[in-house]
Amino acid sequence: MNRRVLLVCQYYYPSNAPGAHRCAKLAKYLPEFGWEPTVLCMQATPGNCEGTYDPKLEASDTCEVVRVPYTHPKERSPAKYLHDRVLRPCLKTYIPYRLYRRMLKRGRKLAREQQFDAIWATSPSPMILNVARRISRSTGIPWIADMRDLAGETDSKPGIFMRWEMALERRAASGAAAFITVTQHLADMLARHHDAPVRVIPNGFDPDDFPPGAQPSREQFEIVYCGVIYSGRDPTPLFDALDLLLQQGVDIGRLRVRFYGVLETSLDPLTAGHPCVHLVENMGRVNYDEVIRIQQSASMLLLLPHAGVKGIMTSKVFEYLGARKPILSVPGDGDVTDALLEETGAGVAAAEPAAIAELVGQWYRQWREGSDLPYGGKPDEIAKYTRRHQAQHTAKLLDEVCAARSNAE
Phi, psi of 166 (to 5 degrees): -65, -40
3-204+386-408 and 208-382 share one CATH topology? yes
**Tens-place pLDDT, residues 247-299:** 999 999 999 999 999 988 889 999 999 999 999 999 999 999 999 999 999 99
Report whether CATH 1.25.40.10 matches the domain 208-382. no
Cβ atoms of 344 and 379 closer than 8 Å: no
Q: Is 238 helix (H, G, I), strand (E, B) or coil?
A: helix
**Confidence at residue 94, expressed as pLDDT on a 0 to 100 scale:** 86
Domain ranges in the chain are 3-204+386-408, 208-382
**Confidence at residue 217, expressed as pLDDT on a 0 to 100 scale:** 80
Instruction: Give the domain 3-204+386-408 fold.
Output: Rossmann fold (3.40.50)
DSSP letter for each residue of 202-233: ---B-GGGS-TT----SSSEEEEEES---TT-
**Confidence at residue 361, expressed as pLDDT on a 0 to 100 scale:** 96
Q: How crowded is residue 339: how many other Cβ atoms within 10 Å of its Cβ? A: 14
**Confidence at residue 95, expressed as pLDDT on a 0 to 100 scale:** 85
**pTM given for the model:** 0.92
**Confidence at residue 311, expressed as pLDDT on a 0 to 100 scale:** 86
Number of separate helices (H) and strands (E) present in the chain = 15, 13
**Confidence at residue 79, expressed as pLDDT on a 0 to 100 scale:** 60
Regions of the chain with pLDDT less than 70: 73-90, 153-157
